[in-house]
Amino acid sequence: MNDAEKMPREGEGLPDEEFSELMQSISTMAPLVRGLTGGKGGGKCSRREGLLLALKPYLSPARCEVADYLIRIGRLQEMLGNLRSL
């Protein structure tokens, strides 16, 4: 069976078992992705991230980019730590 035959036809959905597995995967990954993108799901940020966010209005555009980069790196580090605990 090729990939085209595995795809549901228009108007059809996924079989219940596949849909359930997909929803479980999404629910597992959602908090991790939210943490990486800075979504409101986590609700709290690290002290370092808070400091960088507070300083951004006083930084040059180039340094704002560096602050954003450091924030993303910190979120990635936190996400990887969360993956390790799963």
Q: Is the alpha carbon torsion for 22, 23, 24, 28 positive or negative?
A: positive
Angstrom distance (rounded) from CA 20 to CA 14: 9
Q: Tell me how many domains the chain contains.
A: 1
Helices 47-55 and 61-84, packing angle to 10 deg: 160
Is the model's pTM score more than 0.85? no
The distance of Cα 21 from the centroid of its chain, to the nearest Å, equals 19
Domain residues for the domain of 32 are: 3-84
Q: Which two structure tokens, joined as six digits, stand for 7?
A: 């795809």
Residue with token string 């990635």: 76
Give pLDDT tens digits for 18-74. Answer: 877 877 777 777 666 666 555 544 556 788 889 999 999 999 999 999 999 999 898
Q: Which two structure tokens, joined as six digits, stand for 59?
A: 């930084």
Angstrom distance (rounded) from CA 75 to CA 56: 17
